[in-house]
Amino acid sequence: MILKVMLVVGSVAVFGIGCVSATGNIAPSLPLNAGEFFLEQTRETHNADDFKLLHKDMWGYETELKHNHHKKLTVNTCADLVASIDLGYEASQSADYGAVIIDYKICKSWQELSLFKPSHQSYLSVVNLNKNFAKRVPPQLALIISKDDERRLVVATNWDEMSHIVKVEAIDETSAIFVDNSGGSQRLNIRAKGDYNDDGIEDMLLSTSNTVEGGSYHSVDYFILTRLSSEASFTLLKQW
């Protein structure tokens, strides 16, 4: 299996991001198409139900997994991959471990996107991806690769406390690269918005693609965040 070094959920709909409040029947902003790493053709994904179908679509290949070095199985859908990894399966070959984890996280994102609904209140109309953003989001967004990072995570209150952000390179309205003082580089992408947890308030799906300067380390992470008022910091709802 080829390691997928590009983090993709699909082409995302263009939307504004910030602290302005919006009310009414707010339709979800979802990726417009997805599936290019798994399917022969991308699937148009205009609504949450399309992600339910994508999650069950058969791939053009199979991936072999193992459990406790003995029991093996092959999967060829995102639904089967997510279910198997959640049960403790992993890549059958150690060389494929990283690729399978990335596949799992992409598939998991489609599973979660199938739950996004219209919202009635939003405090996400404008979210500026700058240094101040790192001070308003949970510390779990930081690059955590050591036991020391894990210990600091217990007491940190935001991302910037975990790894001080020294530079932000804006790419567009929904993505930017955050560089910290230890050589870590994280590309953050706002992937979607919608009501994830049925409280009527708009939430958002973000991803980070993580690397370390001068090294071969690479990982991806997904987060669902919300904001409960125009002055509030962001609250973590889920991560994987």
The one-letter amino acid code at 226 reads T
Task: Write down the pLDDT at residue 92.
Answer: 95
Long-range contacts of 160-168, Cβ-Cβ distance < 8 Å, separation of 24 or more? 160/131, 160/134, 160/135, 165/131, 165/134, 168/129, 168/130, 168/131, 168/134
Residue 87 has pLDDT above 60, yes or no: yes
pLDDT value at 8 more than 70 = no
Burial readout 208-236 (b: 16 or more C-beta within 10 A, e: otherwise): bbbbbeeeeeebbbbbbbbbeeeeeebee
pTM for the full predicted model: 0.88
Check: CB of residue 235 under 8 Å from CB of residue 226: yes
Q: Is pLDDT larger for residue 14 or for residue 223?
A: 223
